[in-house]
């Protein structure tokens, strides 16, 4: 409704007239006006189903006595953006947040439903909601159908690894082309525990989305029912005068971090939770994140770190089964936007866990969380690796560096099959400023696995990795090379030590030699314009969440 809450006020005539012109009646404007923030588009499989869901949310809003008002925001697909396009994907997170905030503050909505799915859209919307602090609910599209062949189920990360398998002649051309055509089998989020599903299920864990919404197949009838429920519930939340911070706050963020760690989530969740906390006015450091995440064991793992995919996760009990298992570690007083508290939900819901998929606390897959946050003279401000996706034989690795100044250089090197076992591939100038945009080394990491080298070769970068990455892939090295971090001074043959148990990332070069190298080091020429130039000028380091507009 109008900003002053009274459509009879003469000063609101312009608002009423313009809303009349798009079809709203006077009596509609007397109801809570619910903004439906839709990230639908035709070129992102995770977001294509949102067009239909938005219509059902609208029905729910009308039925509950509200007036829906839909608008759209960008939603790039990380998979499609691989390579050059990836420079703009992490910047889009803050742009999405800022564009939503500007639209909502301009139009004065009373409550918001966020329709989202993929990697940067979920955290971008969470940042906007945190800054706006209005009644808010989230709903994701649901997951992609797996592709079945020869008694096996294949999903998106298998296609990345297929590149390496084809390159090493482990599969023939016909198989590669068949997989390329079929592995991305339908709409919905990629059926793996990458960033999209890590953050989508995070929404459930912190109480902002209906349980089961992220892991459910996009085509399930229950998804339609959820959309109608969300439309009705947001009107109730608006009438109750609830706020986003009633549901996402310090206690629920801690619950969310524990959930992500217990399920082997994406390393990108580290960046995003720090960014979301900052948008809420809270401070969450890399060390804070680590202190929380390592208090829980890993009780479940999914593609690509293990065989089960997201549909399997749903059938095994989904997020509720994980939260029920983690119950002793969680703050059960956390409120749920769909109603009640975490405790009342866990006490009353029919939750059944498949213990072959979701282990109990007595038989965890790993102790002390899924991440290793590393420090040392190569990463004075920290680095991140998903330990739960690394073979135990690679928990400690010492080897000679092979240095690259871009993702393209390391891709070419891998395609030429020049990699020597025992080496450490160093990819620098790919950080938030240096990239710019902190690109994901997703394809190179997938190729490494496909070539069978993930048990003998490590990667270290100031860029990121996809949530679909497994293997000894250390990312988020800070400070980044572009800012004069030690990574800039590594040379071919230098010995690098990685120890995931002792949390060490160390370069075996003395300080005097590093100082000499610093005097002559030159960073590559990367002239920029437009949004990339603006991003480089203002973005913070990975150790602060790579924040741009919400620093």
pLDDT in tens, 518-534: 999 999 999 999 999 99
Work out the average pLDDT over 422-427.
98
pLDDT of the residue at 7: 66
% pLDDT > 90, the chain: 90
Residue tagged 């939603």 (tokens): 75
Report the pLDDT value the prediction gives residue 466, as an integer from 0 to 100. Answer: 81
Sign of CA dihedral 223, 182, 46, 356: positive
**What are the φ and ψ backbone dihedral angles of 483, each rounded to 5 degrees?**
-95, 15
Same domain (yes/no): 332, 383? no
Distance CA 213, CA 320 (A): 11
Tally the domains of the chain.
2
439-454 as b/e: b if 16+ CB within 10 A: bbbbbbbbbbbbbebb
What pLDDT does residue 5 have?
A: 59
Output the average pLDDT for the chain: 95
Q: Are residues 138 and 250 in the same domain?
A: yes
CA–CA distance, 272 with 119 (Å, rounded to integer): 10
Flag whether 154 is in a domain: no
**What pLDDT, on the 0 to 100 scale, is given for residue 443?**
86
Query: What's the pLDDT at 334?
Result: 98
Does residue 236 lie in a domain region? yes
Strand order across the 136-140 sheet: 67-72, 33-38, 111-116, 136-140
pLDDT by residue (tens digit) across 468-505?
678 899 999 999 999 999 999 999 999 999 999 999 99
Q: Is residue 227 part of a domain?
A: yes
Q: Are residues 338 and 406 in the same domain?
A: no
SS3 per residue for 88-146: HHHHHHHHHHHHHHHHHHHHCCCEEEEEECCCCHHHHHHHHHHHHCCCEEEEECCECCC
Better-predicted residue by pLDDT, 417 or 142: 142
Q: Report long-range pairs for 26-30 (Cβ below 8 Å, ≥24 apart).
A: 28/67, 29/1, 29/2, 29/67, 30/1
Average pLDDT over residues 372-387: 98
> Beta partners for 34?
68, 111
Q: Is the pLDDT of residue 163 over 90?
A: no
How many whole angstroms separate alpha carbon 24 and alpha carbon 245?
Answer: 30
Instruction: Give the end of a domain, one of 313, 348, 383.
Output: 348
Per the structure, the complete domain to which residue 488 belongs is given by 371-544
Is 6 within a domain? Answer: no
Handedness of CA 60, 65, 71, 77 (dihedral sign): negative
Q: 274 and 311, same structural domain? A: yes
**Residue 442 confidence (pLDDT):** 86
**Considering the domain boundaries, does residue 179 fall inside one?**
no
Is 246 within the bounds of a domain? yes
Mean pLDDT of 133-158: 96
337 and 416 co-located in one domain: no
Task: Give the model's pLDDT for residue 447.
Answer: 87
According to DSSP, residue 67 is labeled E
pLDDT at 431 over 70: yes
Angle subtended at Cα 295 by Cα 294 and Cα 298, rounded to the nearest 5 degrees = 70
pLDDT for 2: 47
Confidence of residue 105 (pLDDT cuts 50, 70, 90): very high
Q: Where a domain ends, among 348, 381, 398?
A: 348
Residue 381 belongs to some domain of the structure: yes
Domain membership of residue 498 (yes or no) is yes
Kindly state whether residues 289 and 419 are assigned to the same domain.
Answer: no
- The reply to whether 321 and 454 lie within a common domain is no
Looking at the structure, tell me whether residues 477 and 331 fall in a common domain: no
The last residue of a domain, from among 298, 315, 348? 348
pLDDT for the residue numbered 417? 79
Q: What is the pLDDT of residues 196-229, one digit of tens each?
A: 999 999 999 999 999 999 999 999 999 999 999 9
Radius of gyration, alpha carbons of the chain = 23
Cβ burial 62-77 (10 Å sphere, 16+ → b, else e)? bebebbbbbebbbbbb
Q: How far apart are CA 244 and CA 127, in angstroms?
A: 11
Q: Are residues 413 and 480 in the same domain?
A: yes
Q: What is the pLDDT of residues 327-366, one digit of tens each?
A: 999 999 999 999 999 999 999 999 999 999 999 999 999 9
Q: Which residues are annotated as catalytic? A: 466
pLDDT tens digits for range 224-277: 999 999 999 999 999 999 999 999 999 999 999 999 999 999 999 999 999 999
d(Cα 209, Cα 115) in Å, to the nearest integer?
10
Helix runs in 241-341, H state only? 250-262, 268-279, 286-293, 310-315, 318-325
CA distance 468 to 195: 8
**Maximum distance among all Cα pairs of the chain, rounded to whole angstroms:** 76
């Amino acid at each position: 409704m109008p900003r002053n809450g009274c459509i009879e006020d003469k000063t609101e005539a312009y608002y009423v007239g313009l809303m009349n012109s798009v079809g709203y009646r006077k009596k509609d404007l007397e109801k809570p006006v619910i903004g439906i923030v839709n990230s639908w588009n035709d070129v992102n499989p995770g977001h294509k189903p949102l067009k239909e869901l938005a219509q059902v949310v609208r029905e729910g809003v009308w039925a509950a006595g509200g007036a829906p008002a839909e608008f759209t925001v960008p939603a790039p697909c990380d998979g499609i953006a691989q390579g050059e396009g990836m420079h703009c994907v992490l910047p889009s997170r803050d742009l999405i947040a800022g564009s939503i905030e500007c639209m909502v503050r301009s139009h004065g909505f009373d409550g918001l439903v966020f329709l989202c799915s993929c990697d940067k859209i979920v955290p971008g919307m969470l940042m906007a909601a945190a800054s706006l602090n209005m009644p808010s609910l989230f709903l994701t599209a649901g997951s992609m159908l797996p592709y079945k062949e020869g008694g096996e189920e294949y999903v998106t990360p298998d296609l990345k690894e297929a590149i390496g398998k084809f390159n090493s002649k482990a599969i023939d051309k016909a198989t590669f082309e068949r997989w390329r055509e079929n592995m991305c089998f339908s709409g919905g989020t990629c059926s793996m525990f990458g960033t999209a599903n890590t953050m989508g299920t995070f929404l459930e864990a912190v109480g902002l989305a209906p349980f089961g919404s992220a892991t459910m197949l996009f085509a399930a009838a229950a998804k339609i029912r959820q959309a109608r429920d969300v439309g009705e519930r947001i009107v109730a939340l608006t009438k109750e005068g609830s706020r986003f911070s009633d549901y996402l706050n310090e206690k629920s963020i801690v619950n969310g971090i524990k959930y992500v760690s217990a399920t082997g989530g994406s390393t990108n969740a580290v960046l995003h939770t720090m960014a979301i906390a900052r948008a809420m006015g809270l401070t969450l450091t890399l060390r804070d994140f680590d202190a929380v995440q390592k208090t829980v064991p890993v009780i479940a793992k999914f593609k690509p770190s293990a065989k089960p995919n997201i549909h399997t996760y749903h059938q095994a009990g989904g997020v509720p089964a994980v939260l029920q298992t983690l119950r002793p570690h969680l703050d059960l007083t956390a409120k749920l936007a769909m109603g009640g508290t975490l405790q009342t939900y866990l006490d009353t819901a029919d939750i059944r866990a498949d213990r072959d998929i979701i282990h109990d606390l007595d038989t965890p897959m790993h102790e002390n969380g899924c991440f290793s946050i590393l420090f040392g003279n190569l990463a004075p401000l920290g680095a991140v690796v998903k330990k739960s996706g690394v073979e135990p034989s690679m928990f400690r690795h010492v080897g000679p560096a092979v240095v690259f100044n871009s993702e393209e250089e390391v891709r070419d090197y891998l395609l030429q099959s020049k990699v020597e076992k025992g080496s450490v591939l160093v990819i620098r100038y790919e950080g938030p400023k240096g990239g710019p945009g902190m690109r994901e080394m997703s394809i190179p990491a997938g190729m490494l696995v496909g070539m069978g080298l993930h048990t003998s070769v490590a990667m270290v970068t100031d860029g990121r990795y996809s949530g679909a990455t497994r293997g000894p892939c250390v990312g988020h090295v800070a400070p980044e090379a572009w800012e004069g971090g030690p990574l800039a001074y590594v040379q071919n043959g230098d010995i690098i030590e990685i120890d995931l148990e002792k949390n060490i990332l160390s370069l075996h070069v003395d300080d005097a030699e590093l100082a000499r190298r610093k005097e002559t080091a030159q960073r590559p020429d990367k002239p920029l314009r437009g949004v990339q130039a603006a991003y480089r000028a203002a973005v913070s380091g990975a150790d602060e969440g790579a924040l741009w507009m919400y620093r």
